[in-house]
Amino acid sequence: MQLDLGRDEMVVLGSALDLLRGLGDLLPAGSVVVVEEPDLIRSRDLDRHCAALSFVSRLVAVEYQTGLDTAALLAREPELAAARLVVPGLEYGVLAAAQLAEALGLPGAGVTAAEIFTDKHRMRVLAAGAGLGNPAFELVDTAAEATAFAQRQGGRCVLKPTRRAGSLGVQIVSDPALVAAAWAASADPETPVDATGRGLPTAVLVEQVLVGSEHSVELLVADGEVRFGNVTDKRVLTGGRPVETGHTVPSALPPLARRELLDVATRLAEAAGFRTGVLHSEWIRTADGPALVECAARLPGDLITALISVAYEFGFVPAYLRMLRGERPGLPARPTGAAAVEFLLALPGTVAAVDGVRTARRVPGVLDVGVGVAVGDRVAEVTSSARRSGQVLAWGADPTEATVAVTRAAGAIRIITG
């Protein structure tokens, strides 16, 4: 069933082409307008890619990632006033999407909430004021200030840019003497492929290192009311770069622990005045209770939406789009099964061979295997989610079965580098 959309009635801020391709059967021809930065249109050859998608009517070049002038945009592109929903296609389009939705009187996160959840320091201040679990934190201008913070925290700290996604620039530093050497990777992180080359301004946040199991909470919210909630179990790299290596939906935690995470995520949404959309928050269950790690006012990445759709047997993303259009679709109260993803991590070097893919696909429960590197490709150290080398997706009757299947299948694949 296609979404009931006419021409140019869905505006996407940021060229999330993989997301759109996955919705191709739902989107009528010519229904989507993609808004993207001029330099990204050129560097990513987006004119050609969008022309190949029948549901994309046109591509609009606008500078939005460092501030959107909605009045100027609507004056230049008056046809956008016919939009029925505005969608952030990626992290760096969240604030602009909220601004455009508000200007058009359409449902969205709300500008204030979008500003909070696109700035990790503002999010920390909000959480502290709302009485939510929060690590000690400080906005710092120099490596010396970060070093002093680490010394006060027993020698360890987390360094992170305030305006980046996908674990980019996030580092756990275990010795104050190493903070100065690590500083640049957080203060001046590499430019992600979906960010404008003009540069995205960021500051540096230094935080207490939290210890405990890691989870995320995905909420579908309409007019401030939580309509659906899920808890995801997360797996991350140990060491200095806590990049996510896998997820399982739903969480295997006991019911009371899951309820606690849903409750704190709901309190976070309420404190920010979040209106309509998806809120994806990350938490660590410490000895003192759940503590907030990060939060995004957009669809989660890492195939979490696919895992939710499999585990709960409903279209998570179509439901989200319908809510942004003002509808109230029926949503499941509980999962009927489970699903998991495990990411492939290759050692740095040049790929010499990729073995075991057929074996992985034959593991019972495996839904999909994707290898993103080939022989001859150069693999860099995994310092962000963009540097992983592929993924395996699997399902099971419960979280344990799904996790065992995906772990077994991913373990069968060997990416040999030299």
Summarised one tens digit per residue, pLDDT across range 107-126 is 999 999 999 999 999 999 99
| Distance (Å) of CA 256 to CA 115, 208, 252, 260, 305 | 32, 26, 11, 6, 24
Residue 199, pLDDT score: 82
pLDDT value at residue 360: 98
Q: Picking from 20-29, 37-46, 150-159, which range would have the lowest pLDDT averaged per residue?
A: 20-29
Q: Check whether 165 has a pLDDT greater than 90.
A: no
Distances (CA, A) of 357 to 96, 122, 362, 366, 392: 41, 44, 9, 11, 10
84-114: b or e for each residue (b if 16 or more CB lie within 10 Å)?
bbbbbbbbbbbbbbbbbbbbbebbbbbbbbb
My answer on whether 93 and 149 are in the same domain is no
Q: Is residue 112 part of a domain?
A: no
Cis peptide before 78 (omega within 30 of 0): no
Residues 160 and 175 in one domain: yes
pLDDT at 359: 98
Within this chain, do residues 272 and 313 fall inside the same structural domain, yes or no? yes
Residue 46 pLDDT: 95
**214 and 325 co-located in one domain:** yes
Amino acid identity at 365: G
User: What are the distances in angstroms from CA 316 to CA 277, 308, 319, 330, 365?
Assistant: 11, 7, 5, 11, 21
For residues 328 and 238, state if they share a domain: yes
> Could you tell me if residue 126 is inside a domain?
no
Residue 1 pLDDT more than 80?
no
How high is the mean pLDDT of the chain? 95
Q: Are residues 295 and 315 in the same domain?
A: yes
pLDDT digits (tens, 9 = 90+) for 272-305: 999 999 999 999 999 999 999 999 999 999 999 9
Q: Is the pLDDT confidence value at 370 over 90?
A: yes
User: What is residue 186's predicted lDDT score, i.e. its pLDDT?
Assistant: 93
DSSP assignment letter at 30: T
Question: Which of 207, 223, 255 is the C-terminal boundary of a domain?
Answer: 207
Q: Is the pLDDT of residue 365 over 80?
A: yes
What's the structural domain count of the chain? 4
224 and 325 housed in the same domain = yes
Tokens representing 118? 């696109």
Average pLDDT over residues 62-87: 96
Give CA–CA dist 233/249, Å, rounded.
Answer: 7
Residue at 5 is within a domain: no
Indicate the pTM of the whole model: 0.94
Residue 300 forms part of a structural domain: yes
Residue 123 falls within a domain, yes or no?
Answer: no
Domain encompassing residue 74: 10-106
| 131 domain residue, yes or no | no
Q: Is 3 contained in some domain?
A: no
Do residue 322 and residue 219 come from a single domain?
Answer: yes
Among candidate residues 336, 370, 392, the one where a domain is terminated: 336
CATH, residue 171? 3.30.1490.20
CATH assignment of the domain containing 412: 3.30.470.20
pLDDT in tens, 135-163: 999 999 999 999 999 999 999 999 999 98
H or E stretch at 353: strand 349-355
Residues 330 and 217 occupy one common structural domain = yes
User: Is 304 contained in some domain?
Assistant: yes
Tell me the percentage of the chain whose pLDDT exceeds 70.
Answer: 100
pLDDT of residue 192: 81
Whether 199 and 249 share a structural domain: no
200/366: higher pLDDT: 366
Q: What percent of the chain has pLDDT above 90?
A: 89
Does 243 lie in the same domain as 186? no
Do both 193 and 232 map to the same domain? Answer: no
